[in-house]
Amino acid sequence: MLNIILMGPPGAGKGTQAKKLIAKYNIPHISTGDMFREAIKEGTPLGKLAASYINDGHLVPDDVTIGLVKERLSKDDCANGYLLDGFPRTIPQAEALEVIAKEIGREVKYVIDIETPKEELVRRICGRRVCKKCGAPYHIINIKPKVDGICDICGGELVQRPDDNEEALTVRLDAYVKQTKPLLEFYKNKGLLTTFDGSNSSDLTPKLIAFLGE
Ligand code: ADP
Ligand code: ZN
């Protein structure tokens, strides 16, 4: 069963790899970041609360995040497994996930940690632009759209995420080191952790598929 967690600092390429993996394996991509951004777009109470943390780079409180994931994991489409992207990010979240996963009978099998040098993270995040309409990612130097500022796929406007600036990124990297990195030890001790090099994103996908199996 493919019950997978993708971990790594902001900009490591978790979202990019997740999209490639779910195209191959028939499991849902559960990204807490995407779920929060969706709620923000819709202007729901959850979105309003989440925005007050996310925009300057802080983590959303554990109780809120855990509740959201618990609800999502209990849906039927997780029957063949799941790909968690950006959750858990704290020890309390990881502990809550243990309980939830047991309850639904789908315990975590692989924790994939994508490591990328800090200079590369900064370069990727500060140059990142995303389509306002469909969410497709671009980069001002590496992944330019055909027409400046316009999405190749849907014609939507390309924008910068409010938390993709140097100031918020400093807060995000700090949160990663202090709150998320301890999880590597947590999963290593359980024998679930495998680390991959994320500096070259197109090289990484075949490696992940070789690791997870056909
Ligand atoms: P990145 O990994 O590039 O920072 P994400 O889309 O995964 O991007 O997350 C964006 C933001 O959403 C985070 O900086 C944080 O504020 C919030 N968030 C996402 N997942 C969690 C989580 N598991 N716990 C708390 N906050 C989260
Ligand atoms: Zn688009």
47 Cβ inside 6 Å of ligand 1: no
Q: Is the CB of 186 under 6 A from ligand 1?
A: no
Give ∠ CA 180-104-29 in degrees, rounded to 5: 55
CB atoms within 10 A of CB 64: 15
The Cα 81–Cα 41 span in angstroms is 28
Residues contacting 21, CB < 8 A, separation 6+: 4, 29, 83, 205, 208, 209, 212
CA of 22 to the centre of ligand 2 (A): 19
Q: Considering only CA atoms, which residue is closest to atom 4 of ligand 1?
A: 10
Q: Give pLDDT, residue 58.
A: 97
- In this prediction, residue 19 carries a pLDDT of 92
Q: Which of 158, 182, 162, 184 is nearest to 171 (CA)?
A: 162
User: 11 with 124: CB under 8 angstroms?
Assistant: yes
The side-by-side arrangement of strands in the sheet containing 193-197 is 29-31, 81-85, 2-7, 110-115, 193-197
pLDDT, residue 79, reads 87
Ligand 1 atom closest to Cα of residue 93: 23
Distance of alpha carbon 90 from alpha carbon 60, whole angstroms: 11
Residue to probe by mutation, ligand 1, list 5, 6, 46, 60, most atoms within 8 Å of CB = 60
How deeply is 172 buried, as exposed, middle or buried, from its count of CB atoms within 10 A (0-12, 13-18, 19+)?
buried
Q: What is the pLDDT along the chain (214 residues), one digit of tens a residue?
A: 899 999 999 999 999 999 999 999 999 999 999 999 999 999 999 999 999 999 999 999 999 999 999 999 999 999 889 999 999 999 999 999 999 999 999 999 999 999 999 999 999 999 999 999 998 899 999 999 999 999 999 999 999 999 999 999 999 999 999 999 999 999 999 999 999 999 998 899 999 999 999 7
What global pTM score does this model have?
A: 0.95
